[in-house]
Amino acid sequence: MARQPAHETLERITATCTAQERLQLTEWETYEIFRQWQIPIAPCELVGDPSEAAAAAERLGGPVAVKIVSPDIGHKTEAGCVRLNVEGPLEASAACAEVLANGRSYKSDARIDGVLIQRMAPSGVELIVGGLHDRSFGPVIMTGVGGIFTEVMKDVTFRLAPVSEEQALLMLQELKGYPLLTGVRGKPPVDLKALARTLVAISQLVANWPQLGELDLNPLIAHEQGVIAVDGLVTLR
């Protein structure tokens, strides 16, 4: 029986990391996997130089984020390798040159796979989603409303993965911050069905990835027209 593209992508990227003796995926590798597992991401392109960055920014439209892609630079912001709200081709070209120079300065022997040009996500309710393989329970998924609800109130909930759409909705309803998702102070409710479907997709990815150490998606932005994953961090066991 032929392997599905989603599983093939998972196996290929896992094998690449193993061959290179690294545990952390690059952001581009993470997004490759998310696409195949039907986890929505902000439109993005991987480019190699400033001229390609300018062309990508023009195609994507609107403000973009410019981020280095390197398996050897884990803390991109600290390295000066992230620029946000970059407007237009000229700014994107300059930002690309800047993050490449900063990356080489930060770690001269770093392998640089390119620069990610990603459309800035719309505003909405920020959530955090995590996944891991627990030694006792197996694959587990976690979600919570982001910001102060996660950091101060520890407003998160857990389930064994994979979950159904109904279970995903119940997870959201358990959160103290759930009213933020249904609309407060004149703000529109988020698309709860799209959000639940995304949690289902993430849980299926976690359940089908035995080599997964930890998946951290922060933030996952929910708004009235859907859901967008903005920043994903994945480590292998």
> Which residues touch 206 (CB under 8 Å, ≥6 apart)?
131, 132, 133, 139, 140, 141, 161, 162, 212, 215
134 and 171 share one domain: yes
Show the 3-state SS of the chain.
CCCCHHHHHHHHHHHHHHHCCCCECCHHHHHHHHHHCCCCECCEEEECCHHHHHHHHHHHCCCEEEEEECCCCCCCCCCCCEEEEECHHHHHHHHHHHHHHHHHHHCCCCCCCEEEEEECCCCCEEEEEEEEEECCCEEEEEEEECCHHHHCCCCEEEEECCCCHHHHHHHHHHCCCHHHHHCCCCCCCCCHHHHHHHHHHHHHHHHCCCCEEEEEEEEEEEECCEEEECCEEEEEC
What's the CATH number where 115 sits? 3.30.1490.20
Q: Does 35 reside within a domain?
A: no
Residues 50 and 133 in one domain: no
Query: Could you give the CA distance from residue 17 to residue 172 in angstroms, rounded to a whole number?
Result: 33
Query: What residues in the chain have per-residue pLDDT under 50?
Result: 1-2
Q: What would the two tokens of residue 164 be?
A: 């159904």
Q: Which of 75, 103, 120 is the last residue of a domain?
A: 120
How many domains are contained in the chain?
A: 2
Name the residue among 180, 183, 176, 158 with its Cα closest to residue 168: 158
Considering the domain boundaries, does residue 5 fall inside one? no
pLDDT of residue 11: 96
Residue 232 maps to a domain: yes
**97 & 113 share domain:** yes
Cis amide leading into 43 (omega within 30): no
Can you give the pLDDT at residue 1? 39
19-42 pLDDT, tens digit per residue, is 999 999 999 999 999 999 999 999
> Would you state the pLDDT for residue 18?
96
Q: CATH code at 163?
A: 3.30.470.20
Residues 178, 209: one domain? Answer: yes
- Domain extent for 87: 43-120
What pTM was computed for the model? 0.92
Q: What count of other Cβ atoms lies within 10 Å of the Cβ of residue 105?
A: 12
**Do 129 and 183 fall into the same domain?**
yes
The reply to whether 10 falls in a domain is no
Same domain, 166 and 116: no
